[in-house]
Amino acid sequence: MKWKQAWFMDESDEDPRLPHHRNPKELVPLDHLAELGVLYWRLNPKDYENDQQLRNIRETRGYNYMDLLDICPEKLENYEEKLKNFYTEHIHADEEIRYCLEGSGYFDVRDKNDRWIRIWIKAGDLIILPAGIYHRFTLDTSNYVKLMRLFMGEPVWISYNRPQEDHPARKEYIESFTKKVGVALEAH
């Protein structure tokens, strides 16, 4: 049975908050995301303060800083501008770690053939995008998500809009993930 939270996107310019399934739908299994360096865990969002699995992930991966972010028109200053920035294709020099506590949204990542894969995150989903992967984020039609952001050390959220083929993080990503097949990962 295929995981039903990730799929190849259509090429439509319609509202980015829509699912954008191809016709017929092309679901993407977790193993394919793992080959791209994307890590995923399913956790209990109701008790995140006491979640031992979350604590173990943070400890093992060195995530010592955490904050919470509500993304909705009522709670996020400069909402429209920030959502537009989140949806602009970009990379980061560090991993992007997001844990969905409430609501839902989409992370879109590029695969090895430059196709968009849409990952639908909902309450309980923790996702890690590797440094250097082209990606973007948008809300779905619920127009609300509460995310926990995790960082190693002081939070750095600098995005580098595409193209960034010469950025060190992009070069390392290409070397580590797009030239290999079947990278073994500890998530799932």
- Terminal Cα-to-Cα distance of the chain (whole angstroms): 15
Residue 89 lies in a domain: yes
pTM above 0.85, yes or no: yes
Q: Which residues of the chain have pLDDT under 50?
A: 1-2, 181-188
Q: Which domain holds residue 43?
A: 33-176
Does the residue 25 lie in any domain?
A: no
Neighbours of 170 (CB within 10 A): 20
CATH number of the domain that 146 lies in? 2.60.120.10
C-alpha dist (Å) from residue 39 to 45, 141, 146, 161: 17, 25, 19, 22
Q: Which residues are annotated as a binding site for Fe(2+)?
A: 90, 92, 96, 135
The answer as to whether 164 is a domain residue is yes
Assigned domain for 144 exists: yes
In a domain, 27, yes or no: no
Residue ranges for the known binding site for Ni(2+) are: 90, 92, 96, 135
Rounded to whole angstroms, how far apart are CA atoms 133 and 95?
9
Give the number of domains in the chain.
Answer: 1
User: Does the residue 11 lie in any domain?
Assistant: no
Question: What are the pLDDT digits (tens) for 121-175?
Answer: 999 999 999 999 999 999 999 999 999 999 998 887 799 999 999 999 999 999 9
The pLDDT, as a whole number, for residue 77 is 92
